[in-house]
């Protein structure tokens, strides 16, 4: 039969073929077709013959064609056919589809849709026909019955697609169904149907099936709905990321979320690659992605952003057209996120309204962590973003040339956080991705070298962290570091020191790098530029500290431990101590030549030798011999000769130019500290060992050598005490003018003598063992120091000389100051009392000791370290701070200022007041630099804390310990306020409030202690009146800083405005204002400008918060994706925020209502009020516009909003015009009238009209 059909089909006409096919039974053809297809024989030719004999022009032919077509589909789906045969049949069916009449095409399409809905498809091969059928149907012009009406082919196609997308899709055919639509002509609406259906299937599919589906969607997006595709993909993975990070499985995303993290990241990486590839082919897709993400950012910096979307954006930076836009968008998002965080942290009002969410910075660092899963396409974007943040938001240079440096513990400014984030991105990327390490290192070094005139501390810190992480890995990049060494001579000294310190671990593992550095340093040692020579000294000192000689004390025996990086490298590097010894001695020879150079170079050497000894104790002899031979040049060996030092030799005269040649004070200071270190560290260890005779003899020589130094210092002490100022030619009659050479010379000598006295004070105190005679010597040295200090201050007061900054830098070490203050104020040992009475009897000396402590703490606040030994050892500095604070706290609380000042005769601040000032500086410095150690610091202050109670006290919180300290200062302030007005000590009161402000920052805002502090401050403000602007301002600032962390201060502002109005009177002189007296601190003198400016400043902050909330609401409403239902839900969820905004503005309106009626004095109060009124009306306008935007979906404007608008029109606006007239009338009476106020008042009027 098959042969007959084929032979008939070969004839020119099909009449006989039609007759034969008509004569066959229905099942004969299908059985024949099945047999031929299964055998893989001439099924294609047979099928062509059957279609030839079944023309659509005849009804029988059409029915037979339909039956065969349907049967072939079933046959292909059965899976019984060979692949080639099935493909051939499908190909023939595709060609024949266009010959079918429209009704049959509809039937065929419906059969497919039913098969999809019923999941009756076996392998889905036949689905390739559906796009052909739908396309063919769309070309038919005839009308087709549909329900009670008729549809065109195009319209019916649309209806079929809608039906298909509304039905159930089996998981295994989703990709195939989505793919087929790319071959169907689709309208924008139809594309949207398909895209929505495919996106809804994401949560039902296995994770590995999603990338190919995303690929098909991206192909389909070329027809339209790009926004929906991108929104759907990013929204799905945003949700997956969120649930995965929370380790919680939602019902819809259960299958996806329970997969391993690595698998999820690999899938996300593949999808990102698909999207980036699609954007390369279709730039419109990239523009839509940026547009979508930017739209979400309008109200909230975290909207639409997640680790996935950020990773996607970073990958898009590889496309040059979008690189700048994407990086700029991410940079802006980061800073906006930090600004939002800053605003939220400072306002309990906002915290209650806005839920805590992950911030962009956290998401970016999450991307860095996820990029370990082969996300190579993200790494370059991470590097570029990291450097962009560091370049844009690093410390800036200010007018005086100093940089605004940032401390990581203090930095609260958004820009500083952004810079820190950039450094973290680069460091973490460096750790994970080997391929970008060289690029990161090269870019960091380039910035260090080329931006020497700008602050680059953030890049040097990053370099240090990079080197510390992997010094051995960086050996492959050593050439880059070596190239940077060539520029050392041209870099600022501070940069050189930090750079060399950063790369120091590399020098331990790379001898070639070390040799290159030495060559550069030796060349720099003889450079013309002074900074180059100083850099050489800094470099050599660093090498001496870090290349230990055999026999040097271990880090545990030294006063400063080795750095982590040093220990890390020592483990890996070969420790050749013999070579190190030769190397170090060569460096010492080079450094000795510095002793003939300028004073600044010598000074650097003296400041560095002490650290060298601590880290490399075997160099002690070499260092001390060098120092001793240098000292002998300026020391008078004859015991009876006064003075004991040759000051003339320390000064260089070149014509009329006089300058310091030998910083003798620093030389003696270095010797004193090195000697003390040797006595305290080396000698005890030597005494505890049994040495051979030769060693003992050698030690005796060493001990004699150190004894010589002791004898010289003792001789200098004795003779300095005997010397008079006339011996130095520095009495009161001496000339200290900076305009004459003799005056300059005398000033230099005076500072040298004062420095020597301070060094000798510390030396004698360290060896005193509480000897009365030694303490008398100390006092004599101090009197010499004080006489010179008084003379210089007196001359400075007369304008005859300019005091040098050097006077602010005491030579006493922090350890000495700590021990001295403890002895003076806290030592109760009976055997010490007689000797200590010598020092305690001199108030000037005790004041001097406290002043030096203040200088040291101030230096820490400004520079992050202190001068002198251990000044850069953070642990030692912290310990000394604890000791000093404990003493200052005890002294201040034990002897109140009022008691001390009652019998005071001396000029200047009392010791108690100095102690309080010191406490204020310490509390500020500890929070700035030692935030993680606050608990330890507060425990150290608890004088009742005993060792046995440490375990019990370990559970005491920071808040509880802080509250205890706060109570002490509260009592002091209450005592001050309880006295008479004329006895009120303003300086002490302001300091006490500053201390309370600093300590209150350590309280947990949710704790009862915080509430107690707020209540106490409120009570003080309500019950105490003082006519002192500084005290009033500091107390009100404390009140506001506490209040905003408890609730919004608007009611407080309203009460204060009523008090101000009551005291200053009304703009209409005929109206008598009733005084409310909510706060006694507001009196006639303080009401304006002090309190008025404070409340206006606070009102401005409230308006800023309200503006922020309105912007956030607008951003939520303006997203185009919201349907009417979603919009109404959003408006409903915004109800608490809207209510809070209206309440805030309503209370602020009454606040301004009071102030615009107040007879404020001309000047800053009026200017600020007019400016804030502008902001008030601008904010009201923004809120009205928001409600106009949402009233369509919400059904109207709320009644409380209507009330607010009416209130502004009835209670504020008319009074604003009256106030403007009042200001203009007042100004017109003044001769200095300008047009400036007209502009401001016009601005207010304009703002009111616009509302």
Q: Biggest alpha carbon distance in the chain?
A: 147
Distance (Å, whole) CA 474 – CA 491: 23
What pLDDT does 909 receive?
Answer: 80
Condensed to tens digits (0 to 9), the pLDDT of residues 875-918 reads 999 999 999 999 999 999 998 877 776 655 566 788 999 999 99
What pLDDT does 869 receive?
Answer: 87
Q: Mean pLDDT throughout 114-123? A: 73
Closest CA to 1153 of 1113, 1104, 1210: 1210
Lowest-confidence segment of 270-279, 400-409, 1217-1226 by average pLDDT: 400-409
Q: Band the pLDDT of 562: cuts 50, 70, 90.
A: very low
Integer-rounded Cα radius of gyration of the chain:
43
User: Per-residue DSSP letters for 928-981?
Assistant: HH-GGGHHHHHHHH-TT--GGGHHHHTT--HHHHHHHHHHHHHHHHHHHHHS-G
Res 773 pLDDT > 90: yes
Res 1117 pLDDT > 90: no
Contact 986, 1031 (CB under 8 A): yes
Contact 244, 264 (CB under 8 A): yes
Closest CA to 515 of 485, 495, 489: 485
Q: Mean pLDDT throughout 410-433? A: 86
Res 708 pLDDT > 90: no
What pLDDT does 158 receive?
Answer: 78
What pLDDT does 1014 receive?
Answer: 97
Q: Mean pLDDT throughout 367-378? A: 88
- When comparing pLDDT for 390 and 15, which is higher? 390
Could you give the C-alpha distances from 729 to 613, 642, 756, 904, in angstroms and in order? 37, 12, 16, 34
Q: Mean pLDDT throughout 1197-1214? A: 89
Q: Band the pLDDT of 105: cuts 50, 70, 90.
A: confident
Name the range with the highest mean pLDDT among 230-244, 693-707, 1082-1096: 1082-1096
Condensed to tens digits (0 to 9), the pLDDT of residues 1006-1020 reads 999 999 999 999 999
Res 556 pLDDT > 60: no
Q: What percent of the chain is modeled with pLDDT above 70?
A: 81
Give the three-class secondary structure for 636: coil
Res 998 pLDDT > 80: yes
What pLDDT does 780 receive?
Answer: 95
Contact 1056, 1095 (CB under 8 A): yes
Q: Band the pLDDT of 563: cuts 50, 70, 90.
A: very low
Local structure of residue 129 (DSSP, 8 states): G
Neighbours of 977 (CB within 10 A): 17
Condensed to tens digits (0 to 9), the pLDDT of residues 202-212 reads 888 888 888 99
Distance (Å, whole) CA 813 – CA 670: 11
Per-residue burial over 455-489, b if 16 or more Cβ lie within 10 Å, else e, is bbbbbbbbbbbbbbbebeebeebbebbbebbebbb
What pLDDT does 302 receive?
Answer: 61
Q: Band the pLDDT of 805: cuts 50, 70, 90.
A: very low
3-state SS track over 6-50: HHHHCCCCCHHHHHHHHHCCHHHHHHHHHHHHHHCCCHHHHHHHH
Name the range with the highest mean pLDDT among 395-399, 541-545, 807-811, 931-935: 931-935
What pLDDT does 698 receive?
Answer: 52
Neighbours of 59 (CB within 10 A): 8
Res 51 pLDDT > 90: no
Neighbours of 799 (CB within 10 A): 8
Closest CA to 1012 of 971, 967, 974: 967
What pLDDT does 1233 receive?
Answer: 47
3-state SS track over 1169-1211: HHHHHHHHHHHHHHHHHHHHHHHHHHCCCCHHHHHHHHHHHHH
What pLDDT does 295 receive?
Answer: 79
Bridge partners (DSSP) of residue 149 are 146
Q: Mean pLDDT throughout 453-480? A: 85
What pLDDT does 732 receive?
Answer: 78
- When comparing pLDDT for 1060 and 49, which is higher? 1060
Q: Mean pLDDT throughout 951-962? A: 78
Neighbours of 22 (CB within 10 A): 13
What pLDDT does 372 receive?
Answer: 87
Res 30 pLDDT > 80: no
What pLDDT does 583 receive?
Answer: 80
Q: Mean pLDDT throughout 291-314? A: 79
Res 412 pLDDT > 50: yes
Res 653 pLDDT > 90: no
Question: Where do the domains of the chain lie?
Answer: 633-686+697-802, 812-948, 957-1047, 1049-1250
Lowest-confidence segment of 489-493, 758-762, 1052-1056 by average pLDDT: 489-493
Name the range with the highest mean pLDDT among 767-781, 795-809, 906-920: 767-781
Distance (Å, whole) CA 991 – CA 1038: 12
Q: Mean pLDDT throughout 725-743? A: 84
What pLDDT does 885 receive?
Answer: 96
Res 776 pLDDT > 80: yes
Cβ neighbours of residue 1113 under 8 Å, at least 6 residues apart?
Answer: 299, 1134, 1137, 1138, 1186
What pLDDT does 872 receive?
Answer: 87
Strands (E) across 629-668 are located at 651-654, 657-660
Res 693 pLDDT > 50: no
Helix axes 59-78, 43-52, angle to 10 degrees: 160
Neighbours of 930 (CB within 10 A): 18
Q: Band the pLDDT of 465: cuts 50, 70, 90.
A: very high
What the block records as the tokens of 49 is 């013959």
Res 830 pLDDT > 70: yes
For the chain, what is the mean pLDDT? Answer: 83
Burial class (CB within 10 angstroms; exposed 0-12, middle 13-18, buried 19+) of 561:
middle
Q: Mean pLDDT throughout 166-175? A: 82
Long-range contacts of 249-256 (CB under 8 A, 24+ apart): 252/203, 253/203, 255/203, 255/204, 255/205, 255/206, 255/207, 256/203, 256/207
Condensed to tens digits (0 to 9), the pLDDT of residues 613-630 reads 888 888 888 888 899 999
Contact 484, 445 (CB under 8 A): yes
What pLDDT does 762 receive?
Answer: 95
Q: Which residue has the tokens 């404990």?
A: 886
Could you give the C-alpha distances from 1205 to 239, 1191, 1198, 1218, in angstroms and in order? 41, 15, 11, 19
What the block records as the tokens of 759 is 């060094």
What pLDDT does 842 receive?
Answer: 92
What pLDDT does 1121 receive?
Answer: 42
Contact 877, 870 (CB under 8 A): yes
Distance in Å from the first CA to the final CA of the chain:
91
Closest CA to 991 of 1027, 1016, 1028, 1019: 1028
Contact 1153, 1099 (CB under 8 A): no
Q: Band the pLDDT of 373: cuts 50, 70, 90.
A: confident
Q: Band the pLDDT of 572: cuts 50, 70, 90.
A: very low
Q: Mean pLDDT throughout 2-19? A: 63
């Amino acid at each position: 039969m098959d042969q007959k059909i084929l032979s008939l089909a070969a004839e020119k006409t099909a009449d006989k073929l039609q007759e034969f096919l008509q004569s066959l039974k229905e099942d004969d053809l299908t059985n024949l077709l099945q047999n031929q297809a299964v055998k893989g024989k001439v099924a294609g030719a047979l099928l062509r013959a059957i279609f030839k004999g079944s023309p659509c022009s005849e009804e029988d032919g059409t029915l037979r064609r339909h039956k065969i077509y349907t049967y072939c589909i079933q046959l292909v789906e059965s899976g019984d056919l060979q692949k080639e045969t099935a493909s051939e049949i499908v190909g023939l069916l595709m060609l024949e589809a266009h010959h079918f009449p429209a009704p049959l095409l509809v039937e065929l399409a419906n059969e497919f849709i039913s098969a999809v809905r019923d999941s009756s498809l076996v392998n889905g091969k036949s689905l390739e026909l559906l796009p052909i059928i739908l396309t063919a149907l769309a070309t038919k012009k005839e009308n087709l019955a549909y329900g009670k009406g008729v549809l065109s082919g195009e319209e019916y196609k649309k209806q079929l697609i809608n039906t298909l997308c509304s039905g159930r899709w089996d998981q295994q055919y989703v990709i195939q169904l989505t793919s087929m639509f790319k071959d169907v002509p689709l309208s924008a609406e139809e594309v949207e149907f398909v895209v929505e259906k495919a996106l809804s299937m994401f949560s039902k599919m296995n994770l590995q099936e999603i990338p190919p589906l995303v690929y098909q969607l991206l192909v389909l997006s070329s027809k339209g709905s790009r926004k929906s595709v991108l929104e759907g993909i990013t929204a799905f993975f945003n949700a997956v990321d969120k649930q995965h990070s929370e380790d919680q499985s939602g019902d819809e995303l259960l299958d996806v979320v329970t997969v391993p993290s690595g698998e999820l990241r690999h899938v996300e990486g593949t999808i990102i690659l698909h999207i980036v590839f699609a954007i390369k082919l279709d730039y419109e897709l990239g523009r839509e992605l940026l547009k979508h993400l930017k739209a979400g950012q309008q109200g909230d910096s975290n909207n639409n952003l997640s680790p996935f979307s950020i990773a996607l954006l970073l990958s898009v930076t590889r496309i040059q057209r979008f690189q700048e836009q994407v990086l700029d968008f991410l940079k802006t998002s980061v800073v906006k996120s930090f600004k939002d965080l800053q605003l939220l942290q400072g306002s309990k009002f906002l915290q209650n309204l806005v839920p805590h969410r992950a911030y962009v910075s956290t998401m970016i660092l999450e991307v860095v962590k996820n990029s370990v899963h082969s996300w190579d396409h993200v790494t370059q974007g991470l590097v570029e973003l990291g450097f962009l943040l560091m370049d844009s938001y690093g410390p800036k240079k200010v007018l005086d040339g100093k940089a605004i440096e940032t401390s990581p513990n203090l930095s609260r400014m958004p820009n500083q956080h952004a810079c820190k984030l950039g450094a973290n991105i680069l460091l973490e990327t460096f750790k994970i991705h080997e391929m970008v390490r060289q690029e990161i290192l090269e870019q960091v070094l380039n910035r260090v070298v080329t931006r020497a005139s700008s602050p680059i501390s953030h890049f040097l810190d990053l370099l240090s962290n990079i080197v510390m992480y992997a010094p051995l890995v960086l050996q492959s990049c050593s050439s880059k570091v070596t190239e940077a060494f060539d520029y050392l001579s041209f870099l600022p000294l501070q940069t050189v020191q930090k750079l060399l310190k950063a790369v120091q671990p590399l020098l331990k593992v790379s001898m070639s790098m070390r040799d290159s550095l030495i060559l550069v340093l030796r060349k720099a040692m003889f450079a013309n530029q002074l900074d180059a020579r100083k850099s050489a000294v800094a470099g050599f000192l660093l090498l001496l500290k870090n290349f230990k000689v055999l026999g040097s004390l271990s880090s545990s025996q030294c006063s400063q431990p080795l750095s982590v990086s040093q220990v890390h490298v020592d483990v890996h590097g070969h420790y050749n101590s013999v070579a190190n010894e030769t190397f170090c001695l060569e460096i010492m020879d080079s450094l000795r030549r510095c002793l003939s150079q300028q004073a600044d170079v010598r000074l650097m050497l003296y400041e560095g030798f002490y650290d060298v000894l601590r880290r490399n104790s075997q160099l002690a002899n070499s260092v001390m011999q060098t120092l001793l031979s240098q000292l002998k040049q300026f020391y008078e060996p004859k015991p009876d000769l006064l003075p004991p030092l040759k000051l003339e030799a320390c000064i260089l005269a070149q014509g009329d130019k006089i300058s310091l040649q030998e910083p003798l004070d620093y030389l003696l200071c270095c010797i004193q500290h090195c000697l003390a270190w040797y006595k305290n560290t080396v000698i005890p260890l030597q005494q505890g060992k049994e040495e051979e005779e030769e060693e003992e003899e050698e030690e005796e020589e060493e001990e004699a050598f150190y004894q010589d130094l002791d004898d010289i210092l003792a001789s200098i002490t004795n003779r300095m005490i005997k010397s008079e100022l006339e011996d130095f030619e520095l009495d009161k009659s001496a000339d200290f003018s900076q305009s004459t050479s003799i005056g300059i010379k005398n000033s230099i000598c005076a500072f040298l003598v004062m420095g020597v006295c301070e060094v000798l004070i510390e030396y004698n105190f360290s060896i005193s063992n509480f000897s009365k005679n030694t303490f008398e010597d100390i006092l004599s040295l101090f009197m010499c120091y004080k006489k010179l200090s008084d003379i210089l201050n007196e001359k400075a007061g007369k304008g005859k000389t300019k005091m040098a900054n050097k006077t602010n830098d005491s030579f006493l070490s922090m350890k000495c100051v700590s021990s001295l203050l403890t002895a003076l104020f806290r030592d109760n040992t009976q055997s010490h009392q007689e000797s200590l009475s010598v020092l305690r009897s001199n108030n000037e000396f005790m004041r001097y000791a406290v002043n030096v402590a203040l200088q040291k703490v101030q230096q820490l606040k400004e520079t992050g370290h202190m001068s002198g030994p251990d000044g850069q050892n953070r642990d030692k500095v912290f310990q000394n701070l604890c000791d000093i604070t404990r003493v200052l706290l005890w002294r201040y609380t034990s002897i109140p200022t009022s008691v001390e000042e009652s019998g005071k005769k001396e000029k200047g601040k009392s010791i108690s007041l100095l102690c309080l000032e010191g406490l204020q500086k310490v509390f500020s410095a500890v929070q700035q630099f030692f935030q993680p150690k606050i608990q330890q610091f507060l425990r150290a202050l608890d004088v009742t804390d005993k060792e046995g109670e440490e375990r019990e006290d370990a559970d005491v919180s920071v808040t509880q310990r802080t509250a205890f300290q706060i109570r002490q200062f509260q009592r002091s302030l209450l005592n001050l306020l309880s006295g008479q007005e004329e006895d009120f000590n303003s300086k002490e009161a302001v300091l006490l409030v500053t201390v309370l402000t600093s300590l209150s920052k350590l309280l947990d805002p949710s704790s009862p202690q915080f509430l107690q502090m707020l209540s106490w401050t409120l009570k003080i403000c309500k019950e105490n009146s003082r006519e002192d602007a500084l005290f009033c301002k500091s107390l009100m600032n404390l009140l506001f800083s506490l209040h905003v962390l408890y609730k919004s201060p608007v009611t407080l502002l309203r009460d204060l405005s009523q008090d101000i109005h009551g005291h200053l009177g009304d703009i209409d002189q005929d109206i008598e204002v009733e005084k409310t007296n909510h706060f006694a601190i507001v009196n006639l003198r303080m009401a304006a400008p002090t309190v008025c400016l404070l409340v206006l400043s606070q009102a401005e902050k409230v308006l800023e918060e309200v503006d922020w909330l309105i912007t956030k609401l607008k951003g939520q409403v303006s997203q185009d994706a919201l349907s009417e239902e979603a919009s109404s839900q959003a408006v409903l969820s915004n109800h608490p925020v809207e209510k809070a905004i209206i309440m805030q503005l309503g209370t602020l309106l009454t606040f301004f209502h009071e102030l615009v009626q107040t007879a404020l004095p001309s000047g800053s109060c009026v200017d600020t009020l007019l400016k804030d009124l502008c902001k008030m009306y601008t904010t009201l306008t923004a809120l009205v516009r928001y409600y106009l935007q949402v009233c369509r979906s919400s059904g109207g404007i709320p009644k409380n909003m209507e009330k607010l608008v009416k209130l502004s029109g009835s209670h504020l606006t008319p009074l604003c015009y009256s106030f403007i007239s009042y200001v203009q009338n007042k100004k017109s009476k003044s001769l200095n009238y300008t047009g400036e106020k007209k502009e401001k008042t016009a601005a207010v009027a304009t703002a009111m009209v616009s509302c």
